[in-house]
Chain A
């Protein structure tokens, strides 16, 4: 009884305090001044982008005078596997992005078939950095996109198993170069990314293999159409190397809808297709991702 009345009195006043909080621009480091969705959404590797692809965007809602942060959690249901990833990033002065993501890949019944045990999970940590070289996604000449360089250091946490599968290494580093532009005259956002990588299944199955040890040049393309300032639909395509002798790897693609529920919360739903994974073909299904950014 006591607790109840305490709660019912403190909660509304807390709500009031939140409403009455001073304008965000009182703090120069957190003005929240970016245009909604121009921070992208967290890609599966943690870097800001379109979900599957890394873009030239910088995470967080801050402009060139602030330091922004974002966090995300993503779940994917594939035909035979489950995927969960989460992470956080910092966007410094709309110039540098630092991010971390953890990927957990559940082999479910396939785990038993592969002799790993049912529900065996492959896990990976990804530490990434990105720097914006020139340009702006929205402003400036339509001929000059926002261009960024990125590095993504990936560490599989299943070294013994990925090596047994035939991977040359359990750690690897991808290098990316991305160009992103919102063509306002067409309401279309386009991204193109070149990636040097030797990751097998994004790195979950290690790096390199009998077919190819070294990094090869791969491509990521995204096209998105703005329906409203807060609602975007699009598609992505990502080529991938096929380094392992025992299992073919296919290109991946997705169709997504991203909705900024508020300035700070974005939900993304996608249909994703990653092809064959560890000899099990036709891995496609639904992705849901939630991102909070400030």
Chain B
């Protein structure tokens, strides 16, 4: 279907070269009325639409006690795991496209906060809720499985015991309806 369409469009191009306008200087964002987002010089993050901050946005009730935080190596361990997860996702041909042109600085921070908060490792979650932060990403069940596999790899590399890995996944698994769109 798509191929046929692309072919038809190509075929419809005039064969003789029409004189091409030099478009390199055009500000396309301005032409299409796209609002330019400016990186915050302090945080390195792009602004997001206003939302109400609430730890409940993390989408799970945190563990109590310090055993889970310890299993993940505390805040340092969690930061390493989350950074590794984001790196794996960005390099994963199954899902890399979804992370293109996203604010990965913010993602690393909020994802760290979320995991740290859920593991009761001494953080609060300041990000958006799962439904609104994954709106229009077009994620599928297979994408979610790919992300879970990457998280498992990151946790395995950090030598988090398998039972503790699953206890974290148990907190994330019920969010599937919010993070999967199609």
Give chain B residues whose Cβ lies under 8 Å from the Cβ of A228.
162
> B173–A140 contact, CB under 8 A?
yes
> B149–A35 contact, CB under 8 A?
yes
Give chain A residues whose Cβ lies under 8 Å from the Cβ of B167.
184-185
Give chain B residues whose Cβ lies under 8 Å from the Cβ of A64.
140-141
> A140–B142 contact, CB under 8 A?
no
Inter-chain CA distance A142–B141, complex, in Å, is 17
| Chain A CB within 8 A of B134 CB | no
In angstroms, how far is the closest chain B Cβ from the Cβ of A261? 16
In terms of DSSP, what is the predominant structure of the interface of chain A? loop
Q: 1/0 contact trace for B115-141 toward A, CB 8 Å?
A: 000000000000000000000000011
Give chain A residues whose Cβ lies under 8 Å from the Cβ of B182.
65
**Known pairs A184-B169, A187-B162; A63 contacts B142 (CB<8 A):** yes
> A226–B94 contact, CB under 8 A?
no
Q: 1/0 contact trace for A163-194 toward B, CB 8 Å?
A: 00000000000000000000111110000000
Residues of B138-182 at the interface with A, using a CB-CB cut-off of 8 Å, are 140-146, 148-149, 152, 162-163, 166-167, 169-170, 173-174, 176-177, 182
In angstroms, how far is the closest chain A Cβ from the Cβ of B89? 14
> B166–A226 contact, CB under 8 A?
yes
| Chain A CB within 8 A of B19 CB | no
| Chain A CB within 8 A of B93 CB | yes
Give chain A residues whose Cβ lies under 8 Å from the Cβ of B148.
35
Which of A31, A136, A141, A142 touches B142 (beta carbons < 8 Å)?
A: A31
Interface size of A as a range: 20 to 34
In angstroms, how far is the closest chain B Cβ from the Cβ of A250? 35
In angstroms, how far is the closest chain A Cβ from the Cβ of B174? 6
Inter-chain CA distance A64–B146, complex, in Å, is 14
Q: Find the A residue at minimum CB distance from B179.
A: A139
In angstroms, how far is the closest chain B Cβ from the Cβ of A181? 11
> A63–B162 contact, CB under 8 A?
no
Give chain B residues whose Cβ lies under 8 Å from the Cβ of A94.
141
> B94–A229 contact, CB under 8 A?
no
> B145–A141 contact, CB under 8 A?
no
Give chain B residues whose Cβ lies under 8 Å from the Cβ of A34.
142, 145
Give chain B residues whose Cβ lies under 8 Å from the Cβ of A184.
166-167, 169-170, 173
| Chain B CB within 8 A of A262 CB | no
Residues of A196-252 at the interface with B, using a CB-CB cut-off of 8 Å, are 226-229
Inter-chain CA distance A198–B162, complex, in Å, is 42
Q: Find the A residue at minimum CB distance from B167.
A: A185
Question: Contact residues of B with A, CB < 8 Å?
Answer: 93-94, 140-146, 148-149, 152, 162-163, 166-167, 169-170, 173-174, 176-177, 182
Top 8 A-B residue pairs of the complex, sorted by shortest distance between their CB atoms: A33-B142, A184-B170, A139-B176, A185-B170, A63-B141, A23-B93, A63-B142, A184-B166
Given contacts A23-B93, A142-B170, A184-B166, 14 further A-B contacts (CB under 8 A): A25-B94, A31-B94, A33-B141, A35-B148, A35-B149, A64-B140, A65-B182, A140-B176, A140-B177, A142-B174, A184-B169, A185-B166, A187-B162, A228-B162
